[in-house]
Amino acid sequence: MAYKLVVSQSDHGRRLDKTIRSMWPALPLSVVMKGIRTGTVRLDGRKSACDVRVSAGQELYVPWEAPEEKGGSFLFRRTLPVLYRDDWLMVVNKPENLLVQPDRKDQDNVIDRVKYMLSIEGAEERAYAVHRLDRNTTGALLMALSGISLRILQDAFRSREIQKTYLAVVVGKPMKRGEITAPLLKDPGSNTVRVDSAGKEARTLYRLLAAGGGLSLVELELVTGRSHQARVHMAHAGHPILGDVRYGDGEINERWRRRGVRRPLLHSHSIAFGALEGELEPLSGTAVFAPAPEDMRRLIELAALGFEGQESLLDRHGPRNL
């Protein structure tokens, strides 16, 4: 029996095939691709390519029944790509335009998605975000699946036994390597952060990977984990992240918006574990990678930001030994 649904705001800008896979996770990829290829899957009544990006409010027709009503009373029945999973923690690959934790009860978010995924498995629905990513920051996000693992991971962050690295496309060309140590102060009223001597210590290391067309691809290591740290520090250094409306260069953002840049091009690329304790000790000395998202890859190609080793760096996926 065919099924029709309206694309939600949480899926806005997502590829058609990935939107379908998130709603029907048990459906074989070959079935999804055949439906799209033959036109039995339709978007607003028309045949569409698998990589077309859906918009909120569009009508999606599929030749399958409604998603299975598993997982209790979850408002949003969506899944996430899993980069690593064991009994104690999960690392998911967060897409753009998705909150980690909701501001309201009716908002799609990472925590509820992970709980829904656990409910499908019949596992205990306990999931805690160990750190945060902004709504439009993509990539690796660490989730604890128990109170014990949450405590161990929080302690590891405090003792800096967990290292996060990001990929970002920035304006201009920074030095090959650098360090930014400007203190950051958050204004809770406006949800903005600024460099201020009264703020908290913040330290960011960066490494230039490639440059071209007035833009650069950099790797960022956030030694501290302050709100908006990468965005504010790079703007403070004179190299704001491309697409960052709040802290970036408006004129340059507008120029690239017309070429498809819809968000700050910041991606959580890896989470590396140093010495962990207790049940998580086997993870010590490993890192989990999230491959670069498609919009960042397109920009790298469009701006001719080529560099040796690009493919292997951008494609790193899942756990690796350090």
Mean pLDDT of the chain: 90
Q: Is 215 helix (H, G, I), strand (E, B) or coil?
A: strand
Q: Which of 297, 133, 290 is nearest to 225 (CA)?
A: 133
The pLDDT of residue 267 is above 80? yes
Task: Work out the average pLDDT over 171-180.
Answer: 96
Q: Which of 17, 18, 19 is nearest to 9 (CA)?
A: 19
Q: Which of 32, 135, 47, 146 is nearest to 87 (CA)?
A: 146
Q: Is 253 helix (H, G, I), strand (E, B) or coil?
A: helix
Q: Which of 187, 204, 205, 188 is nearest to 196 (CA)?
A: 187
Residue 295: burial class (beta carbons within 10 Å; 0-12, 13-18, 19+): buried
- Helix (H), strand (E), coil (C) string for 16-68: HHHHHHHHCCCCCHHHHHHHHHHCCCEECCEECCCCCECCCCCEEEECCCCCC
The pLDDT of residue 307 is above 80? no
User: Residue 311: what pLDDT?
Assistant: 57
Ordered by start, the domain boundaries in the chain are: 3-62, 161-321
d(CA 225, CA 235): 17
Ranking 25-34, 71-80, 150-159 by mean pLDDT, the lowest is: 71-80
Query: What percentage of the chain carries pLDDT values higher than 70?
Result: 94
User: Residue 71: what pLDDT?
Assistant: 47
CATH of 3-62, one of 3.30.465.10, 3.80.10.10, 2.60.120.260, 3.10.290.10: 3.10.290.10
Ranking 88-102, 104-118, 157-171 by mean pLDDT, the lowest is: 104-118
Q: Check if 3-62 and 161-321 are the same fold.
A: no
Beta bridge partner(s), residue 89: 144
Q: To which H or E segment does residue 120 belong?
A: helix 110-121
User: Residue 72: what pLDDT?
Assistant: 53
119 pLDDT band, cuts 50/70/90, is confident
The pLDDT of residue 308 is above 60? no
Residue 77: burial class (beta carbons within 10 Å; 0-12, 13-18, 19+): buried
Beta bridge partner(s), residue 184: 195, 200
d(CA 99, CA 90): 17
Q: Is 208 helix (H, G, I), strand (E, B) or coil?
A: strand
Among candidate residues 112, 134, 244, 295, the one labeled active-site is 134
How far is the CA of 54 from the CAs of 108, 136, 246, 265, 284, in angstroms? 17, 16, 25, 20, 40
User: Residue 10: what pLDDT?
Assistant: 62
Model confidence, pTM: 0.79
Cβ distance 307 to 209 under 8 Å? yes
User: Residue 250: what pLDDT?
Assistant: 95
Q: Which CATH architecture fits 161-321? A: 2-Layer Sandwich (3.30)
Q: Is 279 helix (H, G, I), strand (E, B) or coil?
A: helix
d(CA 178, CA 221): 11
pLDDT tens-digit series, residues 251-265: 999 999 999 999 999
> What torsion do the CA atoms of 301, 56, 90, 227 make, to the nearest 10 degrees?
80
pLDDT tens-digit series, residues 46-72: 999 988 988 888 999 899 877 665 445
| Residue 134: active-site member | yes
The pLDDT of residue 149 is above 90? yes
Q: Which of 206, 262, 265 is nearest to 237 (CA)?
A: 206
d(CA 166, CA 246): 19
User: Residue 13: what pLDDT?
Assistant: 73
The pLDDT of residue 229 is above 60? yes
The pLDDT of residue 285 is above 70? yes
The pLDDT of residue 84 is above 80? yes
Cβ distance 88 to 144 under 8 Å? yes
Cβ distance 242 to 170 under 8 Å? yes
User: Residue 99: what pLDDT?
Assistant: 94
User: Residue 189: what pLDDT?
Assistant: 83
Cβ distance 225 to 131 under 8 Å? yes
Most confident of 49-53, 68-72, 142-146, 297-301: 142-146
Q: Which of 314, 262, 301, 304 is nearest to 97 (CA)?
A: 262
The pLDDT of residue 76 is above 80? no
User: Residue 86: what pLDDT?
Assistant: 94
